[in-house]
Amino acid sequence: MEKIKFNTKYLEGFVVDEDFRSILPEIEKAHSHLENKDGAGKDFLGWLDLPEETPEGLLSDIQSTADKMNSTSDVIIVIGIGGSYLGARAAIETLSPEFFEQKIFFAGHYLSGDHMCQLLESVKDRDVSVNVISKSGTTTEPAVAFRIVEEFMKKKYTPGQMKERVICTTDKEKGALKSLADTKGYKTFVIPDDVGGRFSVLTPVGLLPVACAGINIRDLVDGAREQVKCVADPDLDKNISYKYAAVRNIFYRKGKKIEILSGFDHKFGYIAEWWKQLFGESEGKEGHGIYPTACRFTTDLHSMGQLIQEGERNIFETFLVTEKESENCLIPTSDEDIDGLNYLAGKQIDFVNKKAYEATAEAHFEGGVPNTTIFIPDRTAYYLGALFYFFEKAVAVSAYVNGVNPFNQPGVEAYKKKMFRLLGRPGY
């Protein structure tokens, strides 16, 4: 099988060999923390070996549950926020066919009465199952959504039917959602104690919704398993996750504080959303952190392209590109050629897109924006699993090099405490 590649052609003049030599001891120290499980956040390293240690029995259980949900339901509502939904949505948006009849609906990722009312209105005459995902069961957004959706379903189904239609992905032993599931007889899947939310896409958190969408979860896990082997050596010439982490920190120390993940495949939009949480929440603390943002090209070349090309030079860019081109949409010849496009006649749209990428990478480089490219052989579950693991390993090392704990998120609680006080929650 081909592998993900990391191209550094457009670092010339911005990063020199001495930069890599200087940061290598820090990369090796971070690698040691992961290998020996003795760094900050060491209790949350379950994701490291997760692809290799996921039992076949669990995958079979997830798949059979998804098959049963699909056989009895027109619609499956997935309730979660942050790491409890972004990975699954990234996989589903990336790998599902375009313009297909939507079966998976997401809820609980923001607070909108209009969204919830319109969702329930749209499914009122359809058979519904729900997968609610929450470690504690008390996170406000998904808890509110689940309370409303559960009440809606109670009016459609008997308690016995509800047991077949509500699946809870939560803590193994404790928490409000686990207690509710045990009381009402809802089936549960476990969120491992040693895997944080933003690293949980390859646990039942991500795998059950992905399986419900008809995506091969074994391929997803197999791709991650193979990537584990590819990012095991601390040598920067062999380990693309570590080289990517090194590049990021070299730029950060040179004053480039913003990273743009620019995808040239329009299906990568939610991969970028997942990536933003992974890097933002892992690195943004103690006054540190590269600001992760994203563009969807070529669309955003007509909105953000000007700023990237000629704005303040405090940014660097990472392109995400699929190597395999689609071969099902040729540009036709026109007798009139009014638009002047006959020079492209007979070529694939993806060919034009690839040339747009090449031109953009070169233009941004010449405009003072150094950039690298992550090449993915094909847009498949296998390579998406590999990409998930590539980024997870990279962010862990990058955060350690930046001097912060990659696996906590103390700042997330700040707004919650103020919100609970304003809402009148007891104790606040």
- Amino acid identity of residue 77, one-letter, is I
Measured distance CA(221)–CA(388) in Å, rounded: 10
Contact 225, 386 (CB under 8 A): no
Residues 6+ apart with CB under 8 A from 380: 95, 219, 223
Contact 221, 51 (CB under 8 A): yes
pLDDT at position 416: 81
pLDDT at position 238: 92
Contact 69, 129 (CB under 8 A): yes
Cα-flanking dihedrals φ and ψ of residue 144, to 5°?
A: -60, -45
Angle between helices 240-253 and 381-401 in degrees, nearest 10: 40
Which CATH code fits 48-215? Answer: 3.40.50.10490
Q: Which are the catalytic amino acids?
A: 281, 302, 416
DSSP output for 122-145? HHTTS-EEEEEE-SSS--HHHHHH
E-only strand ranges, 163-266: 166-170, 187-190, 258-263
Measured distance CA(428)–CA(424) in Å, rounded: 7
Measured distance CA(230)–CA(2) in Å, rounded: 11
DSSP output for 237-292? TT-HHHHHHHHHHHHHHTT--EEEEEESSGGGHHHHHHHHHHHHHHH--TT--PEE
Phi and psi based region of residue 423 (left: phi greater than 0; alpha: psi -120 to 50; beta: remaining): alpha
pLDDT at position 120: 93
Q: How far is CA 144 from the centre of its chain?
A: 24
Nearest to 190, CA basis, from 87, 303, 86, 46:
46
- Taking the CA of residue 193 as centre, how many other CA atoms within 13 Å lie in the half-sphere pointing to its CB? 6
The domain ranges of the chain are: 5-39+226-401, 48-215
Same topology for domains 5-39+226-401 and 48-215, yes or no?
A: yes
Supply the DSSP symbol for 428.
Answer: -
Which CATH code fits 5-39+226-401? Answer: 3.40.50.10490
Measured distance CA(207)–CA(316) in Å, rounded: 33
pLDDT at position 44: 96
Residues 6+ apart with CB under 8 A from 53: none
pLDDT tens over the chain, length 428 residues: 799 999 999 999 999 999 999 999 999 999 999 999 999 999 999 999 999 999 999 999 999 999 999 999 999 999 999 989 999 999 999 999 887 778 999 999 988 989 999 999 999 999 999 999 999 888 889 999 999 999 999 999 999 999 999 999 999 999 999 999 999 999 999 999 999 999 999 999 999 999 999 999 999 999 999 999 988 888 999 999 999 999 999 999 999 999 999 999 988 999 999 999 999 999 999 999 999 999 999 999 999 999 999 999 999 999 999 998 777 789 899 989 899 889 989 999 999 999 999 999 999 999 999 999 999 999 999 999 999 999 999 999 999 999 999 999 888 878 888 888 877 888 88
DSSP output for 92-123? HHHHSPTTPPP-EEEESSS--HHHHHHHHHHH
Supply the DSSP symbol for 405.
Answer: -
Nearest to 78, CA basis, from 129, 12, 3, 14:
129
Contact 323, 377 (CB under 8 A): yes
pLDDT at position 328: 77
